[in-house]
Amino acid sequence: MKKVLFWALTFLVFFTFVSPLIWMYLTSFKTNADIYTQEISKMFYFTPVLANYKTLFFKTEFFRELINTIIISGVSTVLVMLVALPAAYSFARWETGHGHLLFVTISTRMFPAAVAAIPFFMAFKALGMLDMHIGLLLLYLYFNVSFAVFLLYGFFREIPPELEQAAQVDGYGRLDIFRKIVFPMIKPGAAITAIFCFIFSWNEFLYAFLFTRNIARTLTMGMASFWASGQIDWGTMAACVCLAILPTLAAAWFMQRYIIRGLTFGAIKG
């Protein structure tokens, strides 16, 4: 009896969190008639069509948005790691700034997005950098750097300092210690941090919305544009959402062990 109750509740939980996603994917294969139908039976028994994906691929800027998103997220992630890796190492190994600098770094994550949006909108306007990849890319560097530093800080602290001291005695220089001892041990942590930064940039909307129009617009902007038009094409929108969230779903599935650790800035190991 207890077992039946447990599985009933588990199924309910599972249904609540998973069925909306399944429904979205089903919708993306429906014709408009099947989307607007009022009959429950027709909502489940329908002939799948690829028309929505055809519209998405050939009538909208989907591929350009996809490429823009990949470029912007990818390059900003690389920049973030270049800045955050050495800094986090320094914080973890020598307590540089006695925690104050670390505090300042993490506090940027709590800044309302508008505090950066207003000044940089004016600055980019003056510099002609609105609607350019580089502008958004730099904002994502700012947006992710504090998170990356803090998460990496946790990973670096797991490396015993004795290893480095032993290497120093063996005559390794500082650079060699980082390259040959520390980096191989931080690699998994760095990969997880990088994937998180990539996803956060991929998902970001407010800055993309304010700083891009046509040339550099990202996938989230593409999604939003369906909602902006008067007559909403729900089927194509569903197709767009389904494809845009696919990489993040894959990441969530393969990184399940690290999601909680990442989202809590490393405070909880999960």
Partner 1 sequence: MADHSKGATLDGLTSVQHPPGQTEPRKRAFMDVISDDKYYKWMLVIPLILVLCIFMFYPLFYCMYYSLHEFGMVKAATWTGLENYRDVLQDGEFWLALGRTGYVLCLSIGAELIIGMSIAVLFNREFFGQNAIRGMILLPLLIAPLAVSMMWNFFLQYDFGIVNLFLGLFGIPKVSWFAPGTGLNTIAAISIWQWAPFSIFVLLAGLKSLPRDSFEAARVDGGGPWYVFRRLTLPNLAPLIMIIVLLRTMWLIRLFDPLYGTTRGGADTELLDWQIYRNSFVYFDIGRGSALAIISLFLTMIICGILFRQLMRALSGANR
Contacts (CB under 8 A) with partner 1, residues 41-70 = 43
Report 106-165 residues binding partner 1 (CB under 8 A).
Answer: 106-122, 138-139, 141-142, 145, 149, 154, 157
Nearer to partner 1, 23 or 183 (CB): 23
Nearer to partner 1, 71 or 113 (CB): 113
CA distance 270 to 267: 9
Q: Work out which of 54, 63, 99, 183 binds partner 1, going by CB under 8 A.
A: 99
**Contact partners, residue 143, CB within 8 Å, separation at least 6:** 200, 201, 204, 207
- Number of residues engaging partner 1 in binding (CB under 8 A): 102
Q: Work out which of 49, 78, 133, 209 binds partner 1, going by CB under 8 A.
A: 209
Q: Look-up: residue for tokens 């990949």?
A: 70
CA distance 242 to 245: 6
Q: Work out which of 14, 50, 160, 161 binds partner 1, going by CB under 8 A.
A: 14
Contact 51, 235 (CB under 8 A): yes
Nearer to partner 1, 16 or 214 (CB): 16
Report 212-231 residues binding partner 1 (CB under 8 A).
Answer: 220, 223-224, 226-227
Q: Work out which of 4, 47, 169, 229 binds partner 1, going by CB under 8 A.
A: 169
Q: Work out which of 136, 202, 217, 239 binds partner 1, going by CB under 8 A.
A: 202
CA distance 31 to 53: 11
Tell me the residue type at 48: P
Name the residue among 13, 35, 21, 56 with its Cα closest to residue 245.
21
Binding mask 177-196 for partner 1 (x = CB under 8 A): --------------------
Among 4-12, 54-62, 70-78, 185-193, the segment contacting partner 1 (CB under 8 A): 4-12
Nearer to partner 1, 71 or 164 (CB): 164
CA distance 222 to 233: 13
| CA distance to 9, 65, 118, per residue, from 125 (Å) | 54, 22, 11
Among 55-63, 99-107, 127-135, 184-192, the segment contacting partner 1 (CB under 8 A): 99-107
Nearer to partner 1, 67 or 249 (CB): 249
Number of H helices, E strands in the chain: 15, 0
Contact 186, 84 (CB under 8 A): no
